[in-house]
Structure 1
Amino acid sequence: MPRSAEVVVVGSINVDQVVTTDRLPLPGETLIGTSMTLLPGGKGANQAVAAARRGAATTMVGAVGDDVHAEAALPLLVASGVDVGRVGVAAGPTGLAVVTVGSDSENTIVVVPGANASVDEEAVARHSEVVSGAAVVVLQGEIPVSGIERAARLATGRLVLNLAPVVAVSAEVVRLADPLVLNEHEGRLLLEMIAPDAAGRLAGRESSDSSTGASSSDASSAGADTADAAVVAELRALGTASVVLTRGAAGALVSDASGSWSVPSPRVRAVDSSGAGDAFVGALSAALASGSSLLEAAQEAVRVGAYSVTTAGTQPSYPGLDDDLPGTDEQVTAIEVTA
């Protein structure tokens, strides 16, 4: 069918209120902060910005509140070329993340969903035409489950399901993902939630590897590779067409019907890793929309994610097509994933 947009992101839009202090306050204690900054955020908005900056015609479906914070939530989406005509206005506050950062880089975060809580099944259904017409639909876990599941079922193009955070979606919706994108911790949490037998097998395998020394300090990297490949195998065994397991500085594991690979990440000097996962997902989605294979898209996405950590902030750190992405001398390697 004709596609009305290359990438449609259905997800959260937040404002991040970042307060820096010399140290984190104790319970009941009042401290004087050293700075306060309002920054655009939310996993949905971050991924939409990342996709648009990598050249995809991108539409955002979500909501902001009718408060003053809405003005701070949207400018980078608009400046990046994202179509925000499907962003509604809900009575009440815009989604807000209150972040306190100490001088030792430790932080506390409190997220108030605000208008994001209105992006439910009914709200998504109002945009069924644009969702069903997308080449790639991108979802995360920061809107109501009913909204996630409705968007997943409306999608006729490729569904990129990034369950971050892990929320209680049905196994049926997980099986619609192509790919399912999770980090290693989220992968285990999802298995515990919808496939306890698989989670038990995984735990038993990891316990056995530990007892035989497979995860000792002199083989920790190989042990982690094996453990993460096992997570991918169990996720594929759920009936999911493809899985991408993100691993931070270690890159990503990619598995679909054509094979499974370990994709290394470039080595860079990290300044701020916040939002790197969203940069990866947005870039992956843009590459898939352009016709790249999943492996090719992941190779692009790890470079975009690495680029993003070299600059402070989330959305402002995402590269455009004219920016030089870091490269790596390491090669993609085929891996075996067996449940």
Structure 2
Amino acid sequence: MFQAAKSAKLALDSTLLGDSLEALFAPAQLIDDVQWVSGFAGPSLQRLLHVPALRERSPQRDALGKMPELALAWRRLACGEVSLSDWLPQHDAEWAAYSDFVSFVMYASTLIELHDKPSLRRLQHLLGLAALRLKLDPLIHRQPELAVRLGIMIDTPGYLVAVEIAAACQLRVASVRNAISRREMIADPAHGVPVDAALDWMVQRRGFLYPVINAITPGRRINGRLANQWLQQDPRVEQLRRVTRLRMMQWRVLGSRRCFGVNEQGLHHCLVTLPADDPDGLAAAGLDALEDRSDDSAVALYRQSFAAAVVGGGASEAPIHQGVVPTMQVLDTLLDYLADTAQAARGAPSERPCQADQE
């Protein structure tokens, strides 16, 4: 096992931004990069540690052999494939191994033979992206010692600079700087953009790697795409159908059988549409910009869609309302409200089973 530094500051490589992460961090590519870097770092470590030969069985040899596997573990975090709580090690040996990979990359970065080599730059960028993922997570805000234990130093906590925002959204740095100059995000000249403001902007970008951060951070903005993803794992609702003509995913609340639709690919807002005669209750639940859309030109399509989920005249006769769900907290409150059977008696009549399909 390598002796890990207490913490290391890892920089993102702006020249790699905008490239596809699937190609940049393809598993086979990462394994090749680690093995290539090991070919240079191994002999140097052999001399420093006075190991007769890293070809022989030794703790240092075993540690080097684990580097490809550890690179893939860090890749899962950096690319947003797993939640932080699921990714964090469970045992001391795993914590040490994850930190070993950071130490391995940092040590390799000191070797003149590897200066500016593509393989090392990709590994440095990988850990820079992983450090950014840690920086954004509310768990690290509450327990910063977790990052230190992994060997990662969080630079300027609470703020993001343009290169970090670009990396999180798979954009070029120039695009982010233009957005800041247009005051889409207000930056502190000394520190950068506050994380909360950056998250509200980033979740509206199609390439944002970590939308789950907005879902688990109280008060952060969400959109229709994120809401639909989250609803798929919420036990209070069932998915009914995708209404292609309206670009809407339709859901039913199990407690009350009330139906509602969410804009399927919405990036800027989470727009909820539902038949209801209780607008005051919906507004009290937190829906913003609530409107009666019964006179909308598309109302017939909405009524047809919701009528397929219920029996009786209530759904077709109730006004069609639309409102914006600004945060996951409001979505949670809205689901609880719709599940209330007392409200259900007013908002939806008896139902028949509705087959989940595509219209």
Determine if the TM-score, normalized by the shorter chain, exceeds 0.5: no
Tell me which interval the TM-score lies in, with the shorter structure as reference length: under 0.3
Task: From the CA coordinates, give the structure whose radius of gyration is larger.
Answer: 2
Give TM-score scaled by structure 1 length: 0.25
Higher helix share: 2
Higher strand share: 1
Higher RCO (CA-CA < 8 Å; seq separation 6+): 1
